[in-house]
Amino acid sequence: MSDFLINAGRQTLMLELQEASRLPDRLGDDFVRAANTIMQSEGKVIVSGIGKSGHIGKKIAATLASTGTPAFFVHPAEALHGDLGMIESRDVMLFISYSGAAKELDLIIPRLQEKSVALLAMTGKIRSPLALAATATLDISVEREACPMHLAPTSSTVNTLMMGDALAMAVMQARGFNEEDFARSHPAGALGARLLNKVHHLMRTGDAIPQVKLTTSVMDAMLELSRTGLGLVVVCDDSSRVQGVFTDGDLRRWLVGGGTLAAKVAEAMTQGGVTLNAESRAVEAKEVLMKRKIAAAPVVDDNGLLCGAINLQDFYQAGIL
């Protein structure tokens, strides 16, 4: 039985791959026209389809939306019961139907024509009513489905998915959509965390900033170091400009060297040190800390004034790994 199952699965994959391998040669004037229609539209792309075509259509709409083309899915039945009102003349409809003869089209196509809505077709029948009414037709036809009964949509749904991806990726690249644009559509994801977060989004502020003055004693700086647990204390002048940092290592070296707790922290601190700008990208700031092999740093604004503090754990908690 195991050999039978493996062979059946392998045959399905081979048939679907064989059908999909024909798609690249079908891209021509209609594909270019479909892509240009979407790019020139000032509205949205409304994707529609029934059954398996509808399931794939939802994915295509989601892919378009996440790659710079406003899009959503509308079920044909819902469209005929009110949702056509969501479609405007500046929009584009991408209708998916392998037969190109879904009965809902008899009512939908005239309404789209009345509103001057551009219609794009994705179908396996390039002489169907859908294809003939469309501005551009994308051919997803197959010689045979992978289903042994030639009934269940299999090879054709793979072709539909791939053609939708080809269209979305072509439009995305033509528009110059980049990683940062993608991140804005996925702010909760790892890419969003890496590209959208700036240091000021993650840094500690207010009382959470460990800071002392140049004239503060080593003893008080040590207490401030313990209070916040950041791993350093920022030492500032009276204008809130960073003059140095005082760390656990500085404290140990000071005491081992015979320094007293009553001395000024200015004598025991590390002068200067690394500072991060509040407006810099968090991922770049983290790389600075990693490269310098330090765990924390003060954060300054564009005027060089202390406005926060941050350590590596703050980056990790934000999903910047």
β-strand 92-96 against 136-139: which pairing, if any?
unpaired
75 is in an annotated binding site: yes
Residue closest to 74 by CA, chosen among 117, 133, 138? 117
Alpha helices in the chain (DSSP H): 2-20, 29-40, 52-66, 76-79, 105-115, 129-133, 155-174, 179-185, 190-196, 199-202, 218-228, 248-256, 265-268, 282-292, 312-317
Angle of helix 52-66 versus helix 155-174 axis, rounded to 10: 20
Number of H helices, E strands in the chain: 15, 12
Question: In a 10 Å sphere around its CB, with 0-12 CB exposed, 13-18 middle and 19+ buried, how is residue 294 labelled?
Answer: middle
Under DSSP, is residue 309 helix (H, G, I), strand (E, B) or coil?
strand
Give the C-alpha separation, 174 to 171, whole Å.
Answer: 5
CA 214 to chain CA centroid, nearest Å = 45
- Which is it for the CA torsion 95, 99, 104, 105, positive or negative? positive
Give the C-alpha separation, 145 to 52, whole Å.
Answer: 13
| Position 280, amino acid | S
Give the C-alpha separation, 198 to 190, whole Å.
Answer: 14
| Residue in this structure with the two tokens 């110059």, named with its chain if needed | 176
β-strand 242-247 against 232-236: which pairing, if any?
antiparallel
CA 188 to chain CA centroid, nearest Å = 8
Residues of each annotated binding site: 75
Residues of each annotated binding site for Zn(2+): 75
